[in-house]
Amino acid sequence: MELTICHLYPELLNMYGDIGNVYILKHRAAQRGISIKVVNHTVGSAFSSQDTDVVLFGGGQDFEMSVVAEDIKNNMLAPLKSYIEDGGVTLAICGGYQMLGKNYITPEGNVIDGLGILPHYTEGGEKRLIGNFIFDYNGYDVIGFENHAGRTYIGDLKPLGKIKKGYGNNGEDGTEGLHYKNTYCTYSHGPFLSKNPLIADELIMKALEKRYGKVSLSPLDDEYEQSARRQLLKRFA
């Protein structure tokens, strides 16, 4: 079996080592005999939803995000929206998460249009929300690092999890991220999947099932990963 990861604009969107999410997926898939092909999607590239199994959408600085937004709107907005609506597996981190929404409202009241693929929106704040955080994902303690000035509001959409420590989407309503079909959005940098192997495996499983139908993943020896998680949870709690 083979899966194709489309890594969106890796030369522009790689805050806090988010490229590590690619390495984690490749490593955990390879241990199960699953081949991973990585396509680095750059400015001007074509996007094929039929040939893509996982999309990774990282975060970047304001200038880089504006370049990315313009290129997506000009070259791949319709197929990316179709991919997400059809249940394509997507992991969007921080700026990528914000950009999938309707807009970003600056502290001065200026409205910056997002991609509008999902209906959430973000308001800029004066204080940055920074630190290690923990949120509950279906009974699993997800560990991450957040650093964002934006406050994201998801309305009636399903959050990825509930905050146990930290700020999450906005520091007000106790939610973190967004989970829509097979799209996972989060403010967690770090990289996200290195601290949370259960979610890495879930992304692999969802992608395999969409491509090949019902499958099962063989368990891995995650003693090192679980030991690291225990230490981090103890330190952050």
pLDDT score of 195 more than 90 = yes
Mean pLDDT of the chain: 95
Please tell me whether residue 123 adopts helix, strand or coil conformation: strand
- pLDDT at site 109: 87
Could you read off the pLDDT of 115-163 as tens digits, one per residue? 999 999 999 998 999 999 999 999 999 999 999 999 999 999 999 999 9
CATH code of 2-236, in short, is 3.40.50.880
Contact at 8 Å (CB) between 182 and 204? no
- pLDDT at site 8: 97
Q: Which of 7, 94, 120, 148 is catalytic?
A: 94
- pLDDT at site 75: 94
- pLDDT at site 31: 97
- Mean pLDDT, residues 169-180: 98
pLDDT score of 234 more than 90 = yes
Give the confidence band of 60 by pLDDT, cuts at 50, 70, 90. confident
Give the confidence band of 169 by pLDDT, cuts at 50, 70, 90. very high
Residues of the chain above pLDDT 70, percent: 100
179 is catalytic: no
Contact at 8 Å (CB) between 23 and 56? no
Contact at 8 Å (CB) between 184 and 93? no
189 is catalytic: yes
Q: How far is CA 85 from CA 46, 78, 81, 89, in A?
A: 19, 11, 6, 10
- pLDDT at site 237: 77
Residue 230 exposure: Cα atoms within 13 Å on the Cβ side: 6
Could you read off the pLDDT of 68-101 as tens digits, one per residue? 999 999 999 999 999 999 999 999 999 999 999 9
Q: Which of 7, 41, 120, 189 is catalytic?
A: 189
Distance CA 84, CA 93 (A): 15
**Going along 35-189, which residue ranges are E strands?**
35-41, 54-57, 89-93, 103-105, 111-113, 121-137, 140-153, 161-165, 175-176, 178-180, 183-186
Contacts of range 195-198, beta carbons closer than 8 Å, 24 or more positions apart: 195/142, 195/143, 195/144, 195/228, 195/229, 195/232, 196/140, 196/142, 196/143, 196/144, 196/229, 197/24, 197/28, 197/222, 197/225, 198/140
Could you read off the pLDDT of 202-228 as tens digits, one per residue? 999 999 999 999 999 999 999 999 999
- pLDDT at site 107: 85
Q: Are strands 54-57 and 89-93 parallel, antiparallel or unpaired?
A: parallel
Q: Name the pTM for this structure.
A: 0.96
- pLDDT at site 190: 80
Contact at 8 Å (CB) between 130 and 146? yes
Could you read off the pLDDT of 13-46 as tens digits, one per residue? 987 788 999 999 999 999 999 999 999 999 999 9
- Mean pLDDT, residues 100-123: 93
